[in-house]
Amino acid sequence: MTPAPPFQAVIFDMDGLVLDSESGYFAAWQQAAADMGYRLDRAFCTALSGSHGQEIGRRLLALYGADFELERFYRLSGRYWREHVRQTGIPVKPGFAEALQRVRDLRLPYCLATNSRRADAEQCLAWAGLDGVFAHLLAREDAARPKPAADIFIKAAEAVNAPPRLCLVLEDSPTGVKAAVAADCVCLFVPSVLPADTEASELAYRVLPDLSAAADFISAAFADPL
């Protein structure tokens, strides 16, 4: 008898995984910091991949000191980011359509779990042309603690009616990988920042180059379970 695949449902992250949104965030952060007389380097921005708003604020205060005007930074960076999106939109990551179609073909339940606030997530998906794609959207408000805590993936597993250990999580950030592993999910790491984080690579079930490879992994798991 053929063994069952190692998962029964799929959970997608959003920023950096489904949406190519992080480069726009980073540029907006750098422009806002420059307006305020600070220099924010790219390495600092990429280290915050997948982080929630409070963590970003904490790291900025640690970098620049308690006098750094966080509210002004948020206001400026938000304005720059919206200007960027109005001009260019938000690209969908290569391979997402393929991965989603594979999940649908296999009739697997799926959802999206993000550290972003619900209103922001819904707006980003709409700008990317993906509004209505996810029947279940788990956002920052749905979890007592944000990623890297396990909470949001435990909630997501409930939404797709599967135990966490039978949920396949697709994540692009070390923060998200840690959260998925803490929730006891099967996690594929599709890094949006290279070189891939070593700790996250070791924690993840597999490290894959893109979502097309994730689509192939999903197909193979049901054709020849691992």
> 47 and 124: one domain?
no
Tens of pLDDT, residue by residue over 121-162, are 998 999 899 999 999 999 999 999 999 999 999 999 999 999
Domain count, the chain: 2
> 123 and 213: one domain?
yes
Name the band, by pLDDT with cuts 50, 70 and 90, for residue 4: low
> 116 and 64: one domain?
no
How many residues are recorded in the chain?
226
Contact present, 136 and 112 (Cβ < 8 Å): yes
Q: What is the pLDDT of residue 42?
A: 84
15: alpha, beta or left, given left = phi > 0 and alpha = psi -120 to 50?
Answer: beta
pTM, rounded to two decimals? 0.83
Closest-CA residue to 121 (of 59, 193, 52, 48): 52
Contact present, 111 and 117 (Cβ < 8 Å): no
Q: Which domain holds residue 210?
A: 9-20+91-223
> 31 and 42: one domain?
yes
Contact present, 115 and 173 (Cβ < 8 Å): no
> 59 and 146: one domain?
no
